[in-house]
Structure 1
Amino acid sequence: MDVIDLARWQFGITTVVHYFFVPFTISMAFLVAIMQTKWMRSGDERWLKLTKFFGKLLLVNLAVGVVTGLVQEFQFGLNWSDFSRFVGDIFGAPLAMEALLAFYLESVFVGVWIFGWGRIPPKIHLATIWVTACATLLSAYFILAANSFMQNPVGYEINEEAGRAELTDIWAVLTNKVALITFPHTIMAALMVGGAVVAAVAMWHLVKGRRDPSLAEPGATSDAGPFRNALRIGAVAVLLGGVGTAITGDIQGKIMTEVQPMKMAAAEALYETEEPAPFSLFTVGTLDGSEALYSIEIPQLLSFLSTGSFDGEVQGINDIQEEYEELYGPGDYSPNIPVTYWTFRFMVGAGGLAAAIAAWLLWSTRRGRVPTSRWALRVTAVLPVLPLAANTFGWIFTEMGRQPWLVFGLMPTASGITPGSTAGSVLATLSVFTVLYAGLTWLWIWLLVKHARPGLPDVSAEARWGRRSGDDGVAHGGDDGADGDGDGGRAGVDGQPDEEDRPLTFAY
């Protein structure tokens, strides 16, 4: 492989691995916030236990995810300095907003949430996790706005003397039609990841509790109620995320056809323009994807996905290639057809299967039922892998389908490489980063399993703190035995009696 291929492999490996953590963080932050809100509204300690339990998984993911994200900053300088120079004026604004606003809010408020248990009023503490969750959305939006400029450049002018794109309209960049639809599509897909993890962990504990007599009375577990609630919340998140992803994906496909028709044609390996155009569910073809040997097709579906009409015309790769040669000069303007064709189908297939499993989980847990068979556990154990794979394949399709452009219509990929880079230097950093990311991925999985394996935590101190605060509308101190220890509400947040019978204050 030459230096360009190695640099692309390096960027692809590190970006895909880093993206494992992004949808997990976005979705889990909201699910934990919902669990804590339900505790605040109901006073039911089961929700507090779930908040603390899944909050640990959120924090593990945040910690390792930040480390993997740091490497992304180095790659641009190492391998893609000409690309950085070309788009730096455009990318600077949204990425600065992401760092100074979104990431700052996320890091500060998650810290307050971690260390604020028992130290700040519960409603303010609840607000911190919601701010953290919303900050993850802001962060995602600003980054997607920058990425969308690569798919559909807007709000810029070319400085011929400097040889770079310069920002003329930040509002156009932030309201890029690609960003406006990619954002909800990405968030819905992210929701599926967190929901799948919650459902799978809950199912594991339910089955373990039913099969281990030392953990519970026959036919029940002490944590069965909370984990059944978690299972259903996770399944609802996966199902809603799946429906949302399908709806937004349909809109995204039509916008993609408008701004990047070659990508849509490559998604179907459609070489000749057709009206109407079928969509193939499965195809066996030549290695370069230029000819189909066997295919299972749904008539007119690609026309609907591309244009909104079952009779719409979809341009083929050959016709688009001719247009691009007239616009940009001689060259091959089609991406890797087998990669785009199959990643598109793996994305849809994995996401659809995850949604189907989630629907089955909701059906099997209706009216208090709890599926506890080994078969149910095995099916649910696969669940987290499916939306994570769908997210990964979706990003591979998005970025590979843009090739041979770094910035569509403005900068070919070959023009963005760092001058003077050699295959040896890129191979060296590729090897180091691959080993580093493999180790971080193993550490991430090990930490998640370590913290997910134990049962629900003891939350007596936090529960007492919530009751004593006087601002959550639940039981308060002063009601004898309200917190289960018969102290008449005199125990402080550390379990020791207060100096006097007075409402708990937070002067720390």
Structure 2
Amino acid sequence: MDTEILARIQFAFTIAFHYIYPPLSIGLGLILVIMEGMYLKTGNKLYEQMTRFWIKIFALIFGIGVATGIIMEFEFGTNWATYSKYVGDIFGSALAAEGIFAFALESGFLGILLFGWNRVGPKVHFFSTIMVFLGSLFSAVWIVVANSWQQTPAGFHIVGEGLHARAEITDFWAMVFNPSSVDRLTHAWIGAFLAGAFLVISVNAYYILKKKHLEIAKPAFKIALVVATFFSLAQLFTGSKSADGVAKNQPAKLAAMEGHYDSSAVADMYLFGWVNNKTQTTTGVKIPGGLSFLIHNDFKTPVTGLNAFKTEDRPTQVNAIFQVYHIMIAIGIGLILLTLYSCWQWKRGKLFDTKWLLMVLVWSVLLPQIGNQVGWFTAEMGRQPWVVYGLLRTSDALSKSVSANQVIFSLILFTVVYTTLFVLFIYLLNKKIQHGPYYEDVKEHIEEGSKRDNPLLSREED
């Protein structure tokens, strides 16, 4: 296996592991704002203890996320030196903005969020919760902007030639609002909101099945379900908008996502299937002309296929791109159906009596995570063979001095360290979940007025 493939595998592994945590912290940040806002509005201690519990889990996720994110910056220099030099002026400004305006805001107020309950007033603490949430959102802004520039470069010019070439910003805001950044950012934000919401749903569905902490578990479950339902529906629209952008700006990627080879022909939309890149055929269950309709609102309008591009300028792993893209779509539709059915059961007053549904919801925490991962794989694999679309090839971006053996060694080392971190994370997360969301010495205060002050417990049967 050559150095380029190994370096790509290493970066894919490290970023995939890191990407477990930022979406959870963003999504949990939103949930924390809602929970603590309910506490300020009602004065009900139930919401305070609910917020305190999830802040502890947020802190655990935030810590692991920071630790795993630092590694990637070193990989840019060790494995991708040519790439780092080429995009340094672009990424430097975006990552500096992320550090100054996002991470500093988030980490600065994190101390008040964690330790300020008995040291500052309720409104000040709530303000810190909002700031931490906004910091996580802004952090996502600059990371997505930097990555989106690789997909759809704008606001720059090239200085130098050959190995000395580099991109310099000519218009900062054109770089920030490049053709794909807004669509990709909203799509990523909503994926994060779903990851956080389904974590809360999963844990509280477990409590309800075990008949533990019901005074807190049921309203927390309902808060998360409302968030999950709204954003699962919203994701349908942002996904469609993002696909329109891919069709316009990266037609080769879109063709790979749907296994469409004919250079200019009506394109079908597959529900699922298999792509044979050698014979350039795709088989499966499809909607005839569906992709043409999705892009042009006409079932008979041709769509640019992979054969319209030179072999060296188009993705080679077409079936892999096809599969991960369709997994993402299937998960998105599944989350919509799951949340809508859960809401229907809530309306009927049978939400917490349907054990099979609660069991499904316990494991549903995996779905947004898988969806986020395969969505990222779709975007990055579909951009190949370019690391900066149309400008810098992945094969040219590799460090000239790094060897395959060096990459293998560091990959093995990262695998050991990340596996250890993941086991530690699961152990600590499980320990906090088993402990529960409140202590016994405040249980009586929570029970005493929970139904009086809590609008989410209006149904006796729930």
- Tell me the TM-score normalized by structure 1: 0.83
Q: Deviations over 1:10-44 (max 9, x none)?
A: 00000011001011010101101110000100111
Percent of paired sites with the same residue: 32
Aligned to 2:315: 334
Task: Give the whole-Å Cα distance in 1 for the aligned partners of 2:346 and 2:392.
Answer: 53
Aligned to 2:86: 86
Task: Give the whole-Å Cα distance in 2 for the aligned partners of 1:68 and 1:462.
Answer: 37
Q: Deviations over 1:117-143 (max 9, x none)?
A: 111111011000001101111110111
- Residues 459 and 153 of structure 1: CA distance in aligned 2, closer, same or farther (over 3 Å): farther
Count of aligned positions: 444
Aligned to 2:155: 155
Provide the secondary structure at the position in 2 that maps to 1:89: helix
Q: How do 1:196-345 and structure 2 match up within 5 A? A: 196-209=198-211, 223-286=213-276, 288=278, 290-292=280-282, 294-321=283-310, 331-345=312-326
Task: Give the whole-Å Cα distance in 2 for the aligned partners of 1:203 and 1:406.
Answer: 42
Aligned to 1:168: 170
In our comparison, the structure showing a higher alpha carbon Rg is 1
Q: Say whether residues 1:365 and 2:354 are aligned partners.
A: no
Q: Say whether residues 1:8 and 2:12 are aligned partners.
A: no
CA RMSD of aligned residues (A): 2.1
- Note if contact 2:274-2:319 (Cα within 8 Å) is conserved in structure 1: no
- Residues 160 and 359 of structure 1: CA distance in aligned 2, closer, same or farther (over 3 Å): same
Aligned to 1:127: 127
| Structure 2 spans left out of the alignment, 5+ residues | 446-452, 454-462
Q: Deviations over 1:385-412 (max 9, x none)?
A: 0111000000000000000000001100
Q: Which amino acid aligns with 1:446?
A: Y
Deviation at 1:440, TM superposition (A): 1.3
Provide the secondary structure at the position in 2 that maps to 1:283: strand
- Note if contact 1:232-1:362 (Cα within 8 Å) is conserved in structure 2: no
Q: Which amino acid aligns with 2:406?
A: S
Which range moves more in the overlay, 373-382 or 257-266?
A: 373-382
- Note if contact 1:37-1:126 (Cα within 8 Å) is conserved in structure 2: yes
Q: Which amino acid aligns with 2:247?
A: T
Provide the secondary structure at the position in 1 that maps to 2:302: coil
Deviation at 1:284, TM superposition (A): 3.4
Aligned to 2:357: 376
Q: How do 1:462-481 and structure 2 match up within 5 A? A: none
Which range moves more in the overlay, 85-94 or 224-233?
A: 224-233
- Note if contact 1:60-1:444 (Cα within 8 Å) is conserved in structure 2: yes
Deviation at 1:463, TM superposition (A): 12
- Note if contact 1:264-1:306 (Cα within 8 Å) is conserved in structure 2: no
- Residues 307 and 92 of structure 1: CA distance in aligned 2, closer, same or farther (over 3 Å): farther
Q: Which amino acid aligns with 1:141?
A: V
Task: Give the whole-Å Cα distance in 1 for the aligned partners of 2:384 and 2:278.
Answer: 15
- Tell me the TM-score normalized by structure 2: 0.92
Provide the secondary structure at the position in 1 that maps to 2:185: helix
- Residues 372 and 274 of structure 1: CA distance in aligned 2, closer, same or farther (over 3 Å): farther
Which range moves more in the overlay, 83-92 or 162-171?
A: 162-171
Aligned to 1:399: 380
Deviation at 1:169, TM superposition (A): 1.0
Q: Deviations over 1:248-270 (max 9, x none)?
A: 11111111111110000000110
Aligned to 1:492: none
Q: Deviations over 1:418-465 (max 9, x none)?
A: 11111101111111111211211222222111111223213978999x
Q: Deviations over 1:60-90 (max 9, x none)?
A: 1001111111111111111001100000011
Aligned to 1:408: 389
- Note if contact 1:254-1:308 (Cα within 8 Å) is conserved in structure 2: no
Provide the secondary structure at the position in 2 that maps to 1:314: strand
Aligned to 1:452: 433
- Residues 351 and 441 of structure 1: CA distance in aligned 2, closer, same or farther (over 3 Å): farther
Aligned to 2:197: 195
Q: Which amino acid aligns with 2:324?
A: T
Provide the secondary structure at the position in 1 that maps to 2:435: coil
Task: Give the whole-Å Cα distance in 2 for the aligned partners of 1:61 and 1:137.
Answer: 15
| Structure 1 spans left out of the alignment, 5+ residues | 210-220, 326-330, 465-473, 475-508
